[in-house]
Amino acid sequence: MEFLQNMRWTLKPKPDHEKVRLLARALKVEPSIASLLVQRGVESFEEAEKFFRPNLEDLHDPYLMKDMDKAVSRIENAIASEENILIYGDYDVDGTTSVALLSSYLKSYYPNISTYIPDRYDEGYGVSYKGIDYAEDNGFSLIIALDCGIKAIEKVAYASEKNIDFIICDHHRPGKEIPNAIAVLDPKREDCEYPYKELCGCGVGFKLIQALAEKRGLQIEDLLLYLDLVATAIAADIVPITGENRILAYYGLKVINSNPRTGFQAILKQVKKETLTITDVVFIIAPRINAAGRMKHGNHAVTLLTETDAEKAEKYASEIETFNTDRRDADKQITEEALQQIIQNKEEKRMTTVVYQENWHKGVIGIVASRLTETYYRPTLVFTKSGEKLAASARSVKGFDVYNALESCADHIEQFGGHMYAAGLTMFEKDFENFKNEFERVVSETIDPHLLTPEISIDTEINLADITPKFYRILKQFAPFGPGNMTPTFMTQNLMDTGWGKCVGEDKKHLRVVVKQGNSNLFTGLGFGLAEKQDIACGGKPFKAAYCIDENEWQGNVSLQLRLKDIME
């Protein structure tokens, strides 16, 4: 997909020179490595040790979370009196992994556990009346809701009338009122003093099993095998990979790569991938788990993630592979139709993208919103018809809070929820045009115009001579990468192509160059979608590049290469 505008390069401020010097000396590393660490808030030998060697002992006490004692006490009472417990979760990756996590943990010592995932099309996002009716009809007296529920005030009251208790484990922003549940675990509650606020839904679920396990005399090591689910949710939900999330993601990745659950093994067999990084989890495992809820039903994902029989898991994984192929086809077609709609309506110059077609597949509108944001780089909403109402997925650009913008348009919205960069909403069709105009007005008046140009955030400037095997070995240990700890992006000036530069790929949209800087070694650079920059790179003049460093394996030889993000004269 072509970008319609240039990139904006921003160089991060240079960290304090003295801090960098002291850290480089303490760690015996190059100043360029020490500089990257100080930028990430790592300023001492002890902090570096925590960063490079995440330790399970540094996880916070789960009882620091408000209402954790109430949640544990209610679950223990339910088990003692043999109540039926329903584990309820959203249909996306965070929700289905949370349900798989808590249900499989509780089932390891208590049988009366069932799971419930709402139908994306019939019930929509979050806690539903239909789910509560199902609980009543089937004799459940306790519902534990994961990755949803923080705004389910009326639903929790409705359940209460039926003598059904609720425990909520959520990580979304609360509204003005907290549901009247037995316990509401959400680190984003204003009255919650839990030290780490950025857990995903599955992370909150993990804190609950950590608290339950403590009461049973178990150690944190006994819960290691659940961390593959937590790492997957952290990756898919794009929460910061800092603090506690970094520890959970680090150990979860180890489990995925050394001892994955049967369901993950079945997925990985389909794609034939050996060692996975967080990026691989985002692009390989997460879309497949998500595809179940998008194209069919989230139950399929929970079934796969909790299955222990390899043959059955392979059958479920191949079904999910089919859902994922269907999802890709739908996503491609709808994106093309949405782009046409923008051009036909002459809306390229707006500050926002708001598109709607009643027969677009509700399961992929979030992906389409992301694709449109990549293309036009502005806050984006994609609407479709859902029953009597319209449903939409919202995506934003870096630095702009789309949740706040939606809050300003609340008069035209029936219901909404989400984060700074992604949200979901429903509205009545009669309100669509008024909402579209109001959203454009709110964004136009509040967005800093430079946020509408995609940014490449550059950590530091280096020379090609700095890129050595040792430098890259240390760089790899900065992983797992993600928000709050992105893969370092470098800039190098005065690069010259050595005459081998050319456009590559089936459609010749990518650029491959072989560059040097003065008398440095030669490096291959590969820039996806950068074909239009060929003249700058291959015109015989020096140029500068923004890039990440990665490894290229070719016929058994491994070499370092530059993954070009952009080039300029």
**pLDDT tens figures, 301-341:** 999 999 999 999 999 999 999 999 999 999 999 999 999 99
Torsion over CA of 471, 38, 279 and 361, rounded to 10 degrees?
-150
Residue 24 predicted with pLDDT over 60: yes
Cis peptide upstream of residue 480 (ω within 30 degrees of 0): yes
- Whether 265 and 313 have beta carbons less than 8 Å apart is answered as yes
Contacts of 455 (CB under 8 A, 6+ apart): 7, 8, 9, 10, 398, 399
Q: Where are the alpha helices (DSSP H) in 458-524?
A: 469-476
Same domain, 69 and 172: yes
Of the residues 418, 452, 486, which one is the last residue of a structural domain?
Answer: 452
Task: Give the integer Cα–Cα distance in Å for 552 and 561.
Answer: 6
pLDDT at 2 (0 to 100): 38
- Measured CA to CA in angstroms, residue 134 lies from 130, 137, 166, 304, 551 at distances of 6, 5, 14, 22, 52
Whether residue 305 is contained in a domain is answered as yes
Residue 1 predicted with pLDDT over 50: no
pLDDT at 266 (0 to 100): 93
Cβ–Cβ contacts within 10 Å for residue 139, how many? 10
* Residue 48 binned pLDDT confidence (cut-offs 50, 70, 90): very high
Same domain, 132 and 222: yes
Q: Where are the alpha helices (DSSP H) in 121-258?
A: 129-137, 153-161, 201-215, 227-236, 243-258
Same domain, 381 and 277: no
* Residue 216 binned pLDDT confidence (cut-offs 50, 70, 90): very high
Whether residue 173 is contained in a domain is answered as yes
| Segment 217-237 mean pLDDT | 96
Whether residue 325 is contained in a domain is answered as no
Cα-to-chain-centroid distance, residue 472: 26
Same domain, 287 and 219: yes
pLDDT at 167 (0 to 100): 98
Q: What is the DSSP letter of 295?
A: I
Indicate the SS3 state at residue 226: helix
Domains identified in the chain, total number? 4
Residue 463 predicted with pLDDT over 60: yes
Whether residue 326 is contained in a domain is answered as no
CATH number of residue 205's parent domain? 3.90.1640.30
Task: Give the integer Cα–Cα distance in Å for 89 and 302.
Answer: 10
pLDDT at 558 (0 to 100): 85
* Residue 4 binned pLDDT confidence (cut-offs 50, 70, 90): very low
- Whether 527 and 510 have beta carbons less than 8 Å apart is answered as yes
pLDDT at 349 (0 to 100): 85
Handedness of CA 223, 224, 225, 229 (dihedral sign): positive
Task: Give the integer Cα–Cα distance in Å for 403 and 422.
Answer: 7
Q: Give percent of the chain with pLDDT exceeding 90.
A: 85
pLDDT at 314 (0 to 100): 95
Cβ–Cβ contacts within 10 Å for residue 164, how many? 17
Whether residue 194 is contained in a domain is answered as yes
- Whether 71 and 182 have beta carbons less than 8 Å apart is answered as yes
* More reliable by pLDDT, 5 or 386: 386
Same domain, 81 and 204: yes
* Residue 566 binned pLDDT confidence (cut-offs 50, 70, 90): very high
Give the pLDDT confidence of 285-301 residue by residue, as tens digits: 999 999 998 888 889 99
Task: Give the integer Cα–Cα distance in Å for 398 and 451.
Answer: 7
Whether residue 220 is contained in a domain is answered as yes
Whether residue 8 is contained in a domain is answered as no
Same domain, 131 and 244: yes
| Segment 245-272 mean pLDDT | 93
Same domain, 302 and 402: no
* Edge-to-edge strand ranges of the sheet holding 113-116: 113-116, 84-89, 140-146, 165-169, 183-185
Same domain, 128 and 194: yes
Structure tokens at 452: 């509408």
Radius of gyration of the chain (CA): 25
Same domain, 132 and 246: yes
| Segment 496-523 mean pLDDT | 92
Same domain, 36 and 172: no
Q: Where are the alpha helices (DSSP H) in 402-554?
A: 402-408, 432-446, 469-476, 534-538
pLDDT at 3 (0 to 100): 37
- Whether 9 and 454 have beta carbons less than 8 Å apart is answered as no
pLDDT at 220 (0 to 100): 95
Same domain, 142 and 192: yes
CATH number of residue 353's parent domain? 3.10.310.30
- Whether 551 and 277 have beta carbons less than 8 Å apart is answered as no
Give the pLDDT confidence of 378-422 residue by residue, as tens digits: 999 999 998 889 999 999 999 999 999 999 999 999 988 888 888
Q: Domain residues for 550?
A: 457-569
Whether residue 269 is contained in a domain is answered as yes
Residue 64 predicted with pLDDT over 50: yes
| Segment 133-154 mean pLDDT | 97
pLDDT at 251 (0 to 100): 97
Cα-to-chain-centroid distance, residue 421: 11
Look at 179-193, 537-551, 552-566 and tell me which has the smallest mean pLDDT: 552-566
Same domain, 478 and 359: no
- Mean pLDDT, all residues of the chain: 93
